[in-house]
Structure 1
Amino acid sequence: MDGKKNYKAHVMVLAYHGQGHINPMVQFSKRLASKGMKVTVCTMLSNTKAMKSASSSVIFEAIYDDATEGGVGAQGGFKAFLDRFEAIGSQNLIELIKKQENSEYPVKCLVYDANIPWASVIAKDFAIPGAAFFTQSCAAVASYYPMHYDILEKPLPLPAFSMPGLPPPKLPYLPSLGAATGKHSPIIQHICKQFDNIENAEWVLFNSFDKLEEEVVKWMSNLWTVRNIGPTVPSVYLDNRVENDNDYGFNMYKPSTEACMEWLNTKETGSVIYVSFGSAASLNADQMVEMGEALKQCTNSFLWVVKPTEQSKLPANYVEETSDKGLIVTWCPQLEVLAHKAVGCFVSHCGWNSTVEAISFGVPVVGMPQFLDQMTNAYFLEQVWGVGIQPKENEQNRTTAKEIERCINEAMNGEKIRKKAIEWKRLAKEAIDEKGSSDIYIDEIISRIVAL
């Protein structure tokens, strides 16, 4: 059936592991496919199995068998996984591109997650354009850029983008990356590898839109050909131009969809506090107690996502004691929840996908970042976009229940923050509309690829 279709050209998309990386790249792939492109998404075997129902318009190919070769949690940890993925995945990707060379639709462009810099070498070897796709914000990437040159011990080619008052990033614990050597930690050194070979990229893509990060984009355009092609949110929530596109199609946990939506349907407009810290971040036991107390003290109802690994951190009998006003689930359909009229604010870790979704749906955010780019996103939500508020930590690096409650009340009831949220929702929708900047960029990329 695939051979009978008439495509404009063939694009291969190389996605990194992890929900936060895969979802935006698959959404971009759906958008390309809706415009007549043949799109093959390459990733790990477990991901391809999970994603096959995500879209009938996109082809999924495994280039690494994580069940056999070992995933992130296998022997040797994260670093060993990265080494195996590069050695095996790169060879399989090369063979897959070669296999397409004599077909009706050879690969004309390789879009790769910027966390996989070795893919740019493959694109160059095949003499096809490569596009680096960053799944973090322009601002977060701009904050890493000076560190990259610091590691190289070279002067910056232009002054760093100014973010006064931005705190240094908290770092996740990844011991397998090795012992600290030099000025920057192993995790920062790993992150800065995103900039390796980036000068070879035909385009540098972001899940963002121009008006959202206008000043950062101006700065960054002096370095690369930046194209903001977001928000990469399923089409039904923005422009409805991609048929049946109402979900990402990939969840690390099974969502309690029916229970969540039935419960929300019983609540008044803007009355619910939604709390979720994503698939990777989690609160420590002390902070869970403070969060639980804050939600108990608030007059509003709450929907709190507490992952299976976090259940033991809940105060004793908490679920029973709060059952009259709260619903606690292990996972939920976040898109449907944020789009629901009952939700009044989002208490979030400020991962980039969650941040983009909150902005796209016009939901104010109480930002409690846990590590890395989440710090930058929380800063911009509050200081630049005006749609968020960040609770302050005490001397023990903990945010008290009283402080969380204060910020929730401001997000739920503050007129200024709510007006800003509504305005950004309008601008997000405009960006992906037929004449919006993001859609124009996608058309420009397609035209360039087709012309090759």
Structure 2
Amino acid sequence: MDVGSGRLRFEPLRGGRLWAPADPRYRAPGDMQRHIQDAGPAALEGLIRRQANAGRPVSFIVANAFAPWAAGVARDMGVPRAMLWTQSCAVLSLYYHHLYSLVAFPPAGAETGLPVPVPGPPGADASRTHCPGVLVNTLEELERVAIEALRAHLPVVPVGPLFDTGSGAGEDDDCVAWLDAQPPRSVVFVAFGSVVVIGRDETAEVAEGLASTGHPFLWVVRDDSRELHPHGESGGGGDKGKVVAWCEQRRVLAHPAVGCFVTHCGWNSTTEALAAGVPVVAYPAWSDQITNAKLLADVYGVGVRLPVRRRGHERAGGGGDAAEGAGVERQGERGGG
């Protein structure tokens, strides 16, 4: 779909008190979120007025949960709206039940029954007014129970999975050529997303675990985390391993050489793994990733949780644990546990 073709047009929020696009303060998530919440409403209102003046009136607003202030703009300008939820419906249900005090969350193993605070998305309290519709990045067959339960409270519409289903051909990426040279279902694919940093000790232990499996592996280590890697490009696996700064994840998961996916369990990674039929080793860090890991291992039965231990504030999976977990591709059929 071409940008500006009349079907899809990108218009940036600009003007008013908004920082310039290249402002380094955007790199601090907390500062960025507070600034957008403060300056975003006026910028969005200005965008809607400019579109109307150009003969392209805005007839509907879709804003994700991190822009709750868009609801007020839509209401004040008389424009219908819906919220886009990019995580799972199960996680949306958890947030919703907490926000409206529909159920208490007791601590695991506790006998006191005391509720546990469950923080929602930033600015969620600003959206307590009824939402006319929630577009959720999921599908009925994947989360039927959660969808049906939440529909008693919200007009939930599954619109997922929201990832590109194209072939990906022509990408400047030598990962596929390397995968072509590997035996079927032999490669351990490791990727922890664009935000998660697992720490120097954990990185070393994952490298040790991968090397000890004897399986070929493809490991995505972002440029901003490369200094944490103990063995540079080789990943400690000699000819067995390949370390890259980036790859087209969906394309790699679809390759027949990939037999296992070690993942942080972001929702996009979760749905891409499910779509490709690749079993997973779940290594969640925070937020919805914990719930996604439980879904993958305990509900869908397509993987295992990587055991972790606590070292101060740092999570670390032992080398032996990583080796044991990475061998999941040899257990059961592809797509099974």
Q: Which residue of 1 aligns with 2:141?
A: 211
Q: 1:357 to 1:87 in 2, by over 3 A?
A: same
How far the C-alpha of 1:231 sits from its partner, in A, is 0.7
Partner of residue 113, structure 2:
none
Q: What are the residue-to-residue correspondences of 1:142-181 with 2, within 5 Å?
A: 142-149=93-100, 155-156=101-102, 159=103
**Is 1:384 the equivalent of 2:299?**
yes
Q: Deviations over 1:180-207 (max 9, x none)?
A: xxx859xx36x26336325432210111
Letter in 2 for 1:232: L
* 3-state secondary structure, aligned to 2:190: strand
The alpha carbon displacement at 1:404 in A equals 1.6
What is the identity, as a one-letter code, of the residue corresponding to 2:230? P
For structure 2, which runs of at least 5 residues remain unmatched after alignment? 110-115
Q: Distance in 2 between matches of 1:278 and 1:373?
A: 13
**Aligned runs of 1:292-307 on 2, under 5 Å?**
292-307=207-222
The Cα of 1:419 is off from its aligned counterpart by 4.6
How far residue 87 of structure 1 moved from its aligned partner, in angstroms, is 3.6
Question: Which is further off, 80-89 or 220-229?
Answer: 80-89
1:140 maps onto 2:91 in alignment:
yes
Contact in 2 for aligned 1:132/1:198 (Cα 8 Å): no
- Alignment partners' CA distance in 2, 1:56 and 1:281: 37
* The one of 191, 197, 201 aligned to 2:127: 197
Q: TM-score, normalised by structure 1?
A: 0.65
Cα 1:199/1:386, change in 2 over 3 Å: farther
CA gap 1:86/1:405 in 2 versus in 1, 3 angstroms: same
Give deviations 1:82-114, integer Å, cap 9, x for gaps: 233234332222122123336654211100011
Contact between 2:217 and 2:241, CA under 8 Å: does it hold in 1?
yes
2 CA distance for matches of 1:326 and 1:337?
15
Instruction: Report the Cα offset of residue 394 of structure 1.
Output: 2.8
Q: How far is the alpha carbon of 1:148 from its aligned partner?
A: 2.6
- Farther off after superposition, 99-108 or 262-271: 99-108
Higher helix share: 1
- 2:278–2:335: 8 Å Cα contact kept in structure 1? no
Give the superposed CA RMSD: 3.2
Equivalent residue for 2:61, pick from 85, 101, 110 = 110
* Structure 1 unaligned regions, length at least 5: 1-29, 34-51, 150-154, 167-182, 238-245, 248-255, 422-452
- On the 8 A contact 1:131/1:204 being kept in 2, the answer is yes
Per the alignment, residue 281 of structure 1 pairs with 196
**Alignment partner for residue 316 of structure 2, among 395, 398, 415?**
398
Q: CA deviation at 1:261?
A: 1.6
Relative to structure 1, is the Cα distance of residues 302 and 96 closer, same or farther in structure 2, using a 3 angstrom cutoff? same
Structure 1 residue 81 and structure 2 residue 24: aligned? no
Distance in 2 of aligned mates of 1:317 and 1:226: 46
Question: Is the counterpart of residue 407 in structure 1 residue 337 in structure 2?
Answer: no
- Which structure 1 residue ranges, 4+ long, deviate > 6 Å from structure 2? 162-166
Of 221, 224, 234, 2:151 maps to: 221
Secondary structure of the equivalent of 2:87?
coil
| Aligned position for 2:112 | none
- 1:354 deviates by 0.8
Contact 1:305 1:331 in 2 (8 A): yes
Counterpart for residue 345 of structure 1 = 260
The offset of 1:273, in angstroms, is 0.7
Q: TM-score, normalised by structure 2?
A: 0.85
| Higher RCO (C-alpha 8 Å, min separation 6) | 1
SS in structure 2 opposite 1:235?
Answer: coil
| CA distances 1:293-340 after superposition (whole Å, capped 9, x unpaired) | 111011210000111122222224672752310110111111211111
CA apart distance, 1:146: 4.1
Residues of 2 paired with 1:88 and 1:142: CA distance? 29
Map of 2:160 onto structure 1: 230
- Percent identity for Structure 1 against Structure 2: 31
Q: SS where residue 402 of structure 1 aligns?
A: helix
